[in-house]
Structure 1
């Protein structure tokens, strides 16, 4: 029987983070830095520089991401941290439609999912979402927010699905709080 576990992404698990992020999609180019930097700074950084920035991120006392393991092998990734720690969110027009203050450190954001190609369609993204909510709750979040895609409104490429899908967030108990674009809702789950 397959065993799926979720663990904090820490510095001592950097090789696992690399493995999780490089199995499909843009993870090996982005290194989960998209939401961390202004567009000009992100664009100016090479993939190797972004990889080094990820290594620094994993050294923080509270993990800003989680890694899914399938039978001990890194299989997936989710980014979850206080919204102010992901500064590009505040500069993104659609996300600015959130009813929550952009600078509130008690609002956490789930912004990125990666599941290695060979582990897709096994419920790993849903397990990562549930674990991200619990991680935020454990570390004092009063609310966790997500920016998924509504695949009932529009078809998206698998690379675009790093945002997550609206149906997954709704199944995890999130509610829609805004819809800045037809297929781009904002969802939230109250934790405290």
Structure 2
């Protein structure tokens, strides 16, 4: 993926694959306290038993191994890092959907759908982190848009996310919005697939026409 640059008001936002970012920049986004610092984007990649057994140090080790930060020649990485006016500002996780074992039994993902969870051709955007002081400045939108190109260039057939439905005037904590908002995905060209709960929606960007499910003869 070529590095992407956009504008958010008067600020320039650049998004790069995480392996092209420094480890120090990524950890500046995650911070040293709170949910992001403790999770290190390992929740969706862990079974409940693994999650309970992991220390924060182990999650940090895994995140560093997966992102391959400071290794621009690495062939794989697990997400994207956004810079706003040159400062590390945000992160989103995007990999093949099958990597995220926590999604396998998720009602949000699979309600009303009949797909193969092991299909590596479908990628997923599972998490956004925006650094304190950089929120409401277009960082998540830039990351969602960049995730489309990132997945497509790596051979994905489609990429999807599982954001929250936000209502005007209703307060939602940043902790809840780690999955992103529906509007962020819609602005990046994702289309709604399903609404499995009152507050969650599945959004998808297909790079190839979806095949109709064959009808069984009766």
TM-score normalised per structure 1: 0.92
**Counterpart for residue 86 of structure 2:** 72
Higher helix share: 1
Query: For this pair of structures, how many residues does the alignment match?
Result: 192
State the match for 2:167 in structure 1.
152
Distance between the aligned counterparts of 1:126 and 1:150, measured in 2? 15
1:136-151 equivalences under 5 Å are: 136-151=151-166
User: Aligned residue for 2:189?
Assistant: 173
Change in CA separation of 1:167 and 1:24 when aligned onto 2, cut-off 3 Å: farther
Q: Which residue of 1 aligns with 2:22?
A: 13
* Greater shift in the superposed pair: 155-164 or 75-84: 155-164
Task: Please give the per-residue CA displacement for 1:75-123, whole angstroms capped at 9, x wherever unaligned.
Answer: 1000001001111111222212244321110100000001112111111
What's the C-alpha RMSD, in Å, of the aligned pairs? 2.0
Moved more, 36-45 or 152-161: 152-161
Aligned: 1:186 with 2:202:
yes
After superposition, the Cα gap between the structure-2 partners of 1:174 and 1:33, relative to the gap in structure 1 and judged at 3 Å, is same
- In structure 2, the residue matched to 1:126 is 141
C-alpha distance in 1 between matches for 2:199 and 2:78: 27
Cα distance in structure 2, aligned partners of 1:11 and 1:42: 28
Task: Find out whether 1:162 has 2:171 as its counterpart.
Answer: no
Structure 1 pair 24/73, CA: closer, same or farther in 2 (3 Å)?
Answer: farther
How many Å apart are 1:152 and its aligned residue? Answer: 2.3
* Equivalent pair of 2:108/2:162 in contact (CA under 8 Å): no
Mapped partners of 2:159, 2:66: distance in 1: 20
- Shift of the 99–188 alpha-carbon distance from structure 1 to 2, 3 Å rule, reads farther
Moved more, 89-98 or 41-50: 89-98
Give the unaligned 5+ runs of structure 1: none
Whose RCO is larger (CA < 8 A, sep 6+)? 1
Task: Note closer, same or farther for the CA distance 1:24–1:145 as it changes in structure 2 (3 Å cut).
Answer: farther
The 4+ residue runs of structure 1 with deviation greater than 6 A are: none
Unmatched runs of 5 consecutive residues or more in structure 2: 1-9, 69-73, 209-218
- Residue in structure 1 matched with residue 53 of structure 2 by the alignment: 44
Q: Relative to 1, partners in 2 of residues 1:171 and 1:180: Cα closer, same or farther, differing over 3 Å? A: same
1:111 equivalent in alignment to 2:120: no
Larger radius of gyration: 2
Partner Cα separation in structure 2 for residue 138 and residue 184 of structure 1 = 28
Q: What's the secondary structure of 2:50's corresponding residue?
A: helix
1:155 offset after TM fit, Å? Answer: 4.8
